[in-house]
Structures are given as structure tokens and as C-alpha cells.
Amino acid sequence: MRDGHIERLIQLLARLPGLGPRSARRAALHLVKRRDTLLEPLARALNAVADAVRPCSTCGNLDAVDPCGVCVDGRRDPSRICVVEEVADLWALERAGVFRGRYQVLGGTLSALDGIGPEDLNIASLIARARKPEVREIILALNATVDGQTTTHYIHDCLAACDVDVSQLAHGVPVGGELDYLDDGTIGAALKSRRRM
């Protein structure tokens, strides 16, 4: 006995990550109860994003301008490019505030299972950027998953012909982490990469 408009809204909300059918129903009612303060602002925000936000043609970041704010920021070091899988990873690095160079968003990882090959990722444009004389270092910051590490090694091979340093993020004990809760692979990597004090 639910109205068709609400039914359609619930179906679309249920397709968001983190929301199932039940929480989509709760969210829809939450929205209808807050028509002026949440429902209509959310509709406007979605339209604004649909109209304005595009991937940066240089690095793949999302922004309302192209090239994106990171690519045109003169205070950032153009000699270092940090390669990430997704825009969410770029955001995570920016939140940490530890990197002041440029980015390259691959748009995923190589995956034989899902049929994703090098031509589906922004690898060719990365190699083109790596050939530019101002670029000195490519930092591979892909996830420490099987697919992420496969892609890391593939890109490392691709960049062999370019005159750049290639590095990847360190593996080890997370800050605040307890050995008892860590997997064997992480403990092994942390031991192998131990630093003299």
C-alpha cells in the first residue's frame, strides 16, 4: 500500500552502499519528514553534482573544474605523482595531510576475475605523465590487497623505461596496532622491513 513515488525512492536508496531494504525505508521516511531541511536540499545537491562534477582529464580526481584543484595548485610539488586506485583513496591521503604532490587515479585495479585489464585503467596516461621531464618520482599507493599488489607490480614494470624513481607505501604494523591482533602477513612484512634504531 506504499505510494509509487516513495517505492521508487526506496528502491534507489537501497542501491547505495551501506543501505539495505530496511534502512532504505527508514531513510525514505526520514527524508519525507524533513522535506525542507533534508529532502529538497539533497535533491538540489544531487543535481548540482550531476551538473558540475567531472573527472579531471589529467589525474582522474573529481572536481567542478578541469584540470582539478590539485592539478592546478602551484604550491603542490609537480615532481611527485602518487598513484591511487580510487578517488576515495585520494581523499584519504588528503585527510591525512601528508602528501603535497600530484595524484593519478587509476579507477580500479587489474582483475582477471572481473575481466579488468590495463586498458580499462588510467595506466597509459600515467606513463605519459611519467615521461615528462619535471616528474621525478612515482609513489604507488594502491591497497595492500592481492589485486592492488598485482597492479603495483604491473605498473612498476611499465615504468621501467621511464627515467623516474618508483616507490610504494611501506607495509608494517599500523600505528596503534597490537601484534596479537595482526595477521601473519603483516607481522612478516613488518619484521622484514625492520629499521635500525
What residues make contact with its own copies under the rule CB under 8 A? 1-6, 8-9, 12-13, 15-19, 23, 25-32, 35, 38-43, 45-50, 52-53, 61-64, 68-70, 86-88, 90-91, 94
Q: CB–CB of 108/87 below 8 Å?
A: no
- Cell numbers at residue 97, please? 595531510
Q: Which residues contact 145 (CB under 8 A, 6 or more apart)?
A: 109
Q: Which residues contact 175 (CB under 8 A, 6 or more apart)?
A: none
Q: Which is nearer to its own copies, 9 or 159 (CB)?
A: 9
Q: Which is nearer to its own copies, 147 or 159 (CB)?
A: 147
Nearest distance, CB of residue 80 and its own copies, angstroms = 15
Q: Which is nearer to its own copies, 39 or 182 (CB)?
A: 39
Which residue pairs, CB below 8 angstroms and at least 24 apart, start in 64-69?
none
Q: Which is nearer to its own copies, 87 or 138 (CB)?
A: 87
Of 10, 11, 5, the C-alpha closest to 28 is: 10
Can you say how many angstroms the Cα of residue 78 is from the centroid of all Cα atoms in its chain? 20
Nearest distance, CB of residue 156 and its own copies, angstroms = 26
- Residue 120: DSSP 8-state: G
Nearest distance, CB of residue 111 and its own copies, angstroms = 16
- Cell numbers at residue 1, please? 500500500
Q: Which is nearer to its own copies, 96 or 175 (CB)?
A: 96
Residue tagged 580500479 (cell numbers): 108
Nearest distance, CB of residue 27 and its own copies, angstroms = 4
Nearest distance, CB of residue 148 and its own copies, angstroms = 17
Nearest distance, CB of residue 12 and its own copies, angstroms = 5
Q: Which is nearer to its own copies, 99 or 158 (CB)?
A: 99
Paired sense of beta strands 54-55 and 62-63, if any:
antiparallel
**CA-CA distance, 169 to 92, in Å (whole number)?**
14
